């Protein structure tokens, strides 16, 4: 059962990333896997539901990859924020992430559930991690943080917004994006008293 699920997700991911959301057909995915359409629809009642499952799987893989460096982190909030912005930068440098973003941007108005899916599983996930780090640092360091969620959202929005705007007009290298992230952390840390 688990093997079928993995094969289904892998095949569907490839279809979506190679063909885009609109050109990917549930029937083609089922045919390639050698399963009936009713089997596929029994697991995923719509193409949007299948895409959501693919996003969840992808984010879980990306998160596991990003978490490999977590053991090296200390309790220092600045170090942790720099780690998080580098993870964001590396994720945006990943061709698979870029392909998912193209799908989301191209279908967001017609299929808002797809954009919500990526937002809930991806953006809100990293925002929660950063906000939890800020909360823990506020207690540990005795420096209150009025709204850790807002600060975390600003960090993520700064990183993703800058990348999306700049990447529309030119290629963005990982080193440049990491420098942007470091400068973002510099500014956020300088404003710690008003978090």
Q: What is the CATH number of the domain that holds 24?
A: 1.10.10
Instruction: Kindly report the pTM of this predicted structure.
Output: 0.82
- Tell me: do 54 and 121 sit in the same domain: yes
For residues 51 and 41, membership in a common domain is answered with no
Q: Helix axis angle, 47-66 relative to 26-33, nearest 10°?
A: 70
- How large a percentage of the chain has pLDDT more than 70? 99
- 118 and 33 together in one domain: no
Residues 187 and 113 grouped into a single domain: yes
- Per-residue pLDDT of 66-108, as tens digits, reads 777 777 889 999 999 999 999 999 988 988 888 888 888 888 8
| pLDDT tens per residue, range 38-62 | 888 989 999 989 988 888 888 888 8
Task: List phi, psi (to 5°) of 73.
Answer: -75, 145
Residue 10 or residue 113, greater confidence? 10
Burial of 91 from C-beta contacts in 10 A (0-12 / 13-18 / 19+): buried
Residues 17 and 88 in one domain: no
CATH code at 129?
Answer: 1.10.357.10
Domains of the chain: total: 2
Lookup: tokens for 158: 């700064």
Residue closest to 194 by CA, chosen among 137, 133, 148: 148
- With vertex at residue 177, the alpha carbon angle to CA 98 and CA 147, rounded to the nearest 5 degrees, is 95
Phi and psi, residue 144, nearest 5°: -60, 150
Residues 93 and 126 in one domain: yes
- 56 with 145, same domain? yes
Residues 146 and 117 in one domain: yes
127 with 35, same domain?
A: no
- Tell me: do 98 and 189 sit in the same domain: yes
Q: What domain range is 79 assigned to?
A: 47-194
Q: Is the pLDDT of residue 175 over 70?
A: yes
Is 45 in contact with 87 (CB distance < 8 Å)? Answer: no
Do 120 and 57 lie in one domain? The reply is yes
């Amino acid at each position: 059962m688990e093997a079928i699920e993995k094969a289904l997700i892998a095949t569907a991911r490839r279809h979506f990333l190679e063909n885009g959301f609109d050109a990917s057909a549930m029937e083609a995915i089922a045919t390639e896997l050698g399963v009936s359409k009713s089997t596929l629809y029994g697991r995923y009642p719509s193409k949007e539901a299948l895409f959501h499952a693919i996003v969840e799987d992808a984010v879980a893989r990306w998160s596991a990859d990003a978490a490999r460096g977590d053991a090296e982190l200390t309790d220092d909030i600045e170090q942790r924020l720099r780690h998080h912005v580098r993870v964001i930068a590396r994720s945006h440098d990943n061709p698979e992430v870029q392909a998912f973003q193209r799908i989301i941007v191209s279908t967001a108005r017609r299929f808002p559930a797809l954009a919500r899916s990526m937002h809930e599983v991806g953006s809100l996930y990293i925002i929660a991690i950063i906000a939890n780090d800020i909360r823990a640092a506020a207690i540990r360091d005795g420096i209150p943080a009025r709204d850790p969620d807002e600060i975390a959202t600003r960090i993520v929005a700064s990183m993703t917004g800058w990348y999306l705007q700049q990447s529309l007009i030119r290629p963005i290298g990982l080193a440049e994006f990491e420098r942007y992230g470091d400068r973002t952390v510099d500014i956020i840390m300088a404003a710690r008293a008003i978090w």
